[in-house]
Structure 1
Amino acid sequence: MKKLSITIAVFCASFSFAQKVSDYKYISIPEKFTGFKNNQYGVDTALAKSLKGKKYIVISGNKSEWPEEAFSNPCSVLNADVVNDSGLLRNKIILEFKDCNNNVVSSQKANTIIKEYVEGFQDALKQALVTVPVSNPKMVISTTQVESSSTNESNESPKSSESRSAKYSNGKTMFQRVQIDGNQFILIETNESTPYATFRATTKKDVFRVKLKNGTTTIGYLEDKNIVIEMPQPNGEYSKEVFHNN
Structure 2
Amino acid sequence: MIFYGNIFSQNLNDYKYIIVPESYDILGKTNQYQLNALTKFLFEKNGFQTIMKTETWPEDLQQNPCLGVSPVLVENSGLFVTKMHIELQDCKGITVYKTREGKSKEKEFQAAYQESFRDAFQNLADLQYEYKSNSGIAESVKKSSEISSVIEDKNITSEAKTEVVSESESDVAHEVVAAKKNDLPAGSEVEGNLYSLENSQWIYGDAVFELRAYNSNYALFQLNAPEPIALLLKTNKPNEFVYRSLLNSGTVSYRKNSGIEISYFDSGTNQQKSLLLKSKD
TM-score range normalised by the length of the shorter chain: 0.3 to 0.5
TM-score w.r.t. the length of structure 2 is 0.42
TM-score, length of structure 1 as denominator length: 0.48
Larger Rg: 1
